[in-house]
Every structure is written in structure tokens, then in C-alpha cells.
Structure 1
């Protein structure tokens, strides 16, 4: 697989778009016992946690949407709580969580951003 086919490439595409909107990266691929947070960013007293799913066209899990099932969301919520416990200065920040569906191997490079609250 080439560089445009990896999860790291998909994360970089999402990160570049968010940084262009003024978000500042705090952590990337942060791990705890509950799981991993792909991207953790901040902007104007807001904390943004992004789960990135890179998929090829026609992937059978609706481009990554099905991979973000309820058990994954629960693990992510626990990981966010763990991250915030390690970073107490973030306690006052408004938390936003998004899923970024990044198309791979296609001429269409539009990232689909989904508010996680709508998935629950």
C-alpha cells in the first residue's frame, strides 16, 4: 500500500484541515488502558477529539461509519475521561467529539465530518 492508503495519511489530512481552521494539536495517537485517541486539539477554550477512519471507495463498512459502533464509542468516552484526568487544565474546555471519514485512493478528497453526539 502506498502512502495515500494508510491510517496515518488519513489522520494527517484531517489534521491539516483542522489546523487551517485554527485548531492546535495537543496529542496524536494518545493511548491509555481504555484505547487510543487519534487527534486531540484545542481552540478558544474548546477541546476537540477526532476519531479518523480512512477508507477506500466501496469499503463494506460504509466508509468507516460501521467501525464506529457503540462499544468503540464507549471505549473512546473512557479514553477521553482518562486524557482529561491527565490534563486537568482541559476541565473547563467545552468538549466536542467528531468522526472524520477520509476517502482514500479517490479523486474526491472531501472529508466527511460527523458529530459523534448524533451517532449515540
Structure 2
């Protein structure tokens, strides 16, 4: 099955964010993990810590501020349910603290750095 241009751009953005986080010592636990509630873009681990990353990517800054406005309350609720589902499958990580960040990844021609917005944790 062929992937769409938007899926290809999303995959590129996730890989860019992932490379930066791995350089900082984070290890991947899940990437594009799905359950009935939704998808976890990236879930990473350091000792006693989990980092849940929601990746947003745009070709240019628009009215939604590189995608930050798309992180609505319903989206946050779905993400929370999805994470709870992942944790039920991986209970060995229940003791870890969790941090949620948005990674705002401009597409290549934008020439902007990745912006990280800490949501909670």
C-alpha cells in the first residue's frame, strides 16, 4: 500500500525528532504504537523516566503555530487513554515518571529548529 505525502512528511518529522532525542541519550520503547484509542508517536526511556512525544509538523508557520493549536483537549484525552493502554501491556514501566512534550518539527524547507513544548511531567 502506498503512503500519502502527509504520511511521508509525518514519518520524516518523527525520525528527525527521534534522532535528536537519541543523541540526548533517550532509548526508543515505542514508535507509532497503536491501540483502539489512538497512536503514540514516540515513547522513549531513560532510567526511571519516560518521555511521551507528540510530533507535529508543518511546512510553514500558520495560524496554528506550527501545529500546537491542533493539540486540543480531545486529542490529549485520546493520548492519555492510548498511553494507559500501552502501560497495561508494559506494566514494568509503571514506576517511571512520565513527561509529555510536543515536538514542533518544521518541514525541511522551513529552515527552523525543532521546538519542544513541555506539556506536563
TM-score, normalised to structure 1, is 0.89
CA distance in structure 2 between the aligned counterparts of 1:107 and 1:68, rounded to whole angstroms: 23
- Point out where structure 1 has 5 or more consecutive residues left out of the alignment: none
Deviations 1:76-119 (A, max 9, x none): 011111111110000111111111000112122x111111139x
| TM-align CA RMSD | 1.9
Structure 2 stretches lacking a partner, 5+ long: none
Quick one: which of 40, 44, 49 aligns to 1:41? Answer: 44
Structure 1 segments of 4 or more deviating over 2 A?
Answer: none
1:39-71 deviation digits (Å, cap 9, x = unpaired) = 011001101110000111133321101110110
The TM-score normalised by the length of structure 2 is 0.89
Residue aligning to 1:117: 120
In structure 1, the residue corresponding to 2:105 is in which secondary structure? strand
Aligned to 1:77: 80
Q: How many residues were matched structurally? A: 116
